[in-house]
Amino acid sequence: MHKDLRWKIPLILFVIGGFSLLAWPLEEKINLGLDLQGGMHLVLEVEAEKAVEFSMEQRAEDIKHALDDDDIEVDRVILNKDTNVIRIILVDTIDTTGTETVLKNYTTLEKKDVLRNGLELVYQLREDEIDYIQDNAVHQALEVIRNRINELGLSEPTIQVQGNRRILVQLPGVKDLKRAMDLIGKTARLEFKMVNESMSPQAAEAQGIPAGSEILIEQVRDKTTGKVIEEIPYLVYKRILLTGDMLTGAEVRFDSQYNEPYVAITFNSLGGMTFFELTSANVGKRMAIVLDDHIYSAPVIREKIAGGRAQITGGFTTNEAKDLAIALRAGALPAPVTILENRSVGPSLGRDSVEAGINSIAIGMLGVVVFIVIYYRLAGVVAVGALMLNLIMLMGALAYFGASLTLPGIAGIILTVGMAIDANVLVFERIREEIRLGKTVRPAIEAGFAKAFRTIVDANVTTFIAAIILFQFGTGAIKGFAITLCIGIAASMFTALFVSRTTFDTVMSWKKIERLSI
C-alpha cells in the first residue's frame, strides 16, 4: 500500500463515522424551519418616536424635581412632545441663572430661547440624541423580544432587524399563536406611583385633574372566565418612583388562601433600597403598581418593606401570570411595537413541504446516480460513493451547528448534489482525454485530477463567496439556503478531490489495471 494511503483511508473512515454519528438520528438532530414545520411569521415596527416621548417625559420630571431640590420656584414645566421642547415657567426672574445652572447637567438638551425677561426658558432635545434614542430603541426591542421568545423554549427562532425600525420574527413550531403575539407585543413598562388621595377620581374629572396627576384604570377580571367585569379609576401622581429596570427576578407563585397565581418580583440592591425608602415614607397610603399605563393593583402600604421583594396581583390565569413574569424578566420594550405583517403556516402545509422536498431530493439523486453509472461505468460508482459521503457530511454539519432546514435549504442541498457530481464529471472527462492521448491508467488519473483541480477550486470558491454574501445580507430563508450551500461546497470539494482520488489510488495499489472502466 502506498504510504499516503495509510493516513488517507483512516481519515475518510473517521469522517464517515464522525458525521454519521452527528446526523443520527436525523429527525431528532435537524431542526425544521418555519416553512417545513409550521409556525408564525411576524414583521413588527418599533414606534421609535414613543421612546423619545418616554425619554422626554422622564427628563421633564427629573428637571422639575431637580429645581425643587435647589429651592427654585417653578410655576410649571411644560413638555411639547411634537417638537421635543421643554418650557420651564419660573415664578421670579431671580431664579433664571440658577435654573440655567441646573440645566447644564442635562447635556442632551440645548437652550433655544429665553422669553418674558427670563421667566420662561425653552430647551430642546438635540437631534443627535433623538437619532440615538430611536436607533437604540429598535436594537433594545430586538434583545427584549429575543429574551422573551427564548423563555418560551422554541427551537431556532429567527429574530432580526429589517431596515431602520422593523423587526422580523419567525417562530417555527409555535402552537399557541395568540399567546406568542401577546407576549411579544406587551410593552411591560412596570412603574410604581403613589395614589393622589386628595380628591376622588370622579371629582378630579369634574373639577379638572390636578397638575402632576393623571387618572389610570384598574381592570377587575372574573376569576373563572378572565373577562373584565369592572373598571376602577384611580387618581395617581405622574411621578415614577420606581421602575421595572431595577428588577432581578420575577416568578409565578400561588397564594395559600385561594390558590390564585400572582407574580413575585425581586429588586436589585438599589431598587430594594429605593423600595424600602418608598414604603417607609408612605405607610398608610396607597401605592399603584402600573404596567403599560394600567393599574394591576393599588394596595395600602401597611408597613415599611425591606428585602427588595413585592408582588403583583390582578386576578391572573396561570398562563397570564407566567407570561407577565417572562415579560418582566426579559425587560420592558423601550417603545410599543406594531404588527405590520402576521402570517401563520399550518403543520399540514409544513408536512406537505417536507414530503415534496424529500421527494425532489430522492428523484434528483436517483436520476443523477442512474446517469452517472451508465455514462461513466465503474468510475461512476466511485462518484456515487463520494456523493453519498457528501450528503452524510452535509447532514452531520447541519446537525452539529444546530441549523434549521428550510425549503430554500433543501434547494441548497439539491444544488450541492449537482455541484458534487459536476466536480467528478470534470475529473472524469480530463482522465478520458489523457487516455485518448495514449497514457496508461495511473498517469491518466494523476493528470486528470491535476488538470481539473484548478477549475473545480475556481468554480467552488466563487460560489462559496456568493453564499457568504447571501448569508451576511439575506433574511432567514435566504440564510438557510446559504448555510447549506456553504457546507455542501466544502463537502463536495473534499469528496470530489480527496475521496475520489483516494479511492482510485487504493484500487490501483491492490492490482495493476490495464484498462479503466470510464
d(CA 108, CA 106): 6
**Which tops the pLDDT comparison, 482 or 224?**
482
- Which DSSP string do the residues of 487-515 spell out, in sequence order? HHHHHHHIIIIIIHHHHHHHHHHHS--SS
Q: What is the pLDDT of residue 223?
A: 66
Beta strand 31-32 with 404-405 is parallel
Residue 244 in any domain: the answer is no
Report whether 184 contacts 176 (CB < 8 A). no
φ, ψ of residue 174 in degrees (nearest 5): -70, 135
Q: At what angle do helices 476-493 and 407-436 cross, to 10 degrees?
A: 30
Q: What is the pLDDT of residue 101?
A: 92
Reported as a pLDDT band with limits 50, 70 and 90, residue 477 is low
Residue 414 in any domain: the answer is yes
Residue 383 in any domain: the answer is yes
Task: State mean pLDDT over 39-50.
Answer: 90
Task: State mean pLDDT over 165-186.
Answer: 84
Reported as a pLDDT band with limits 50, 70 and 90, residue 199 is very high
Residue 390 in any domain: the answer is yes
Residue 96 in any domain: the answer is no
d(CA 346, CA 404): 17
Residues sharing a CB contact under 8 Å with residue 32, sequence separation 6 or more, in sequence order: 172, 173, 350, 354, 404, 405, 406
Report whether 271 contacts 242 (CB < 8 A). yes
Residue 298 in any domain: the answer is no
Q: What is the pLDDT of residue 285?
A: 93
Reported as a pLDDT band with limits 50, 70 and 90, residue 46 is very high
Match 397570564 to its residue by C-alpha cell. Answer: 320
Lowest mean pLDDT among 158-172, 398-412, 431-445: 398-412
Residue 469 C-alpha from the chain's centroid: 21
- Evaluate if residue 200 carries a pLDDT over 90: yes
Q: What is the pLDDT of residue 217?
A: 93
Q: In what order do the strands lie in the sheet with 294-297?
A: 228-237, 213-221, 294-297, 287-291, 190-194, 242-243
Reported as a pLDDT band with limits 50, 70 and 90, residue 476 is low
Report whether 147 contacts 131 (CB < 8 A). no
In this structure, what C-alpha cell is assigned to residue 128?
443627535
- Evaluate if residue 160 carries a pLDDT over 60: yes
Report whether 379 contacts 8 (CB < 8 A). no
**Which tops the pLDDT comparison, 154 or 75?**
75
**3-state secondary structure at position 76:** strand
Residue 267: its H or E element? strand 261-267
Beta strand 74-80 with 85-90 is antiparallel
Dihedral over Cα of 421, 422, 423, 426: its sign? positive
- Which DSSP string do the residues of 80-109 spell out, in sequence order? ETTTTEEEEEES-GGGHHHHHHHHTT-TTE
- Evaluate if residue 17 carries a pLDDT over 70: yes
Report whether 398 contacts 405 (CB < 8 A). yes
Q: What is the pLDDT of residue 458?
A: 87
516, β-bridge pairs:
none
Task: State mean pLDDT over 159-174.
Answer: 86
- Evaluate if residue 438 carries a pLDDT over 60: yes
φ, ψ of residue 430 in degrees (nearest 5): -65, -40
Residue 411 in any domain: the answer is yes
DSSP summary character for residue 303: S
Lowest mean pLDDT among 88-102, 161-175, 214-228, 352-366: 352-366
User: How does pLDDT run across 253-305, given as a tens digit for each residue?
Assistant: 988 777 888 889 998 888 899 999 999 999 999 999 998 888 988 889 988 88
φ, ψ of residue 488 in degrees (nearest 5): -65, -40
User: How does pLDDT run across 344-403, given as a tens digit for each residue?
Assistant: 776 555 567 667 777 877 887 788 888 888 888 888 888 888 888 888 888 888 888 777
Which CATH number do you get for residue 19?
1.20.1640.10
Residue 273: its H or E element? helix 269-281
- Which DSSP string do the residues of 109-128 spell out, in sequence order? EEEEEEEGGGTEEEEEE-HH
The pLDDT > 70 percentage for the chain reads 95
Task: State mean pLDDT over 25-48.
Answer: 79
Match 495499489 to its residue by C-alpha cell. Answer: 509
Match 458534487 to its residue by C-alpha cell. Answer: 420
Reported as a pLDDT band with limits 50, 70 and 90, residue 27 is low
Reported as a pLDDT band with limits 50, 70 and 90, residue 49 is very high
**3-state secondary structure at position 405:** strand
Match 411621578 to its residue by C-alpha cell. Answer: 239
Number of domains comprising the chain: 1
Among candidate residues 360, 468, 462, the one with its CA nearest the CA of residue 414: 360
Residue 362 in any domain: the answer is yes
Q: What is the pLDDT of residue 85?
A: 94
Q: Structural domain of residue 429, as residue ranges? A: 5-38+346-510
Among candidate residues 39, 37, 40, 31, the one with its CA nearest the CA of residue 354: 37
- Evaluate if residue 227 carries a pLDDT over 80: no
d(CA 98, CA 104): 10
User: How does pLDDT run across 118-134, given as a tens digit for each residue?
Assistant: 899 999 999 999 999 99
Q: 3-state DSSP: the chain helix, strand, coil percent, rounded to 5?
A: 55, 20, 20
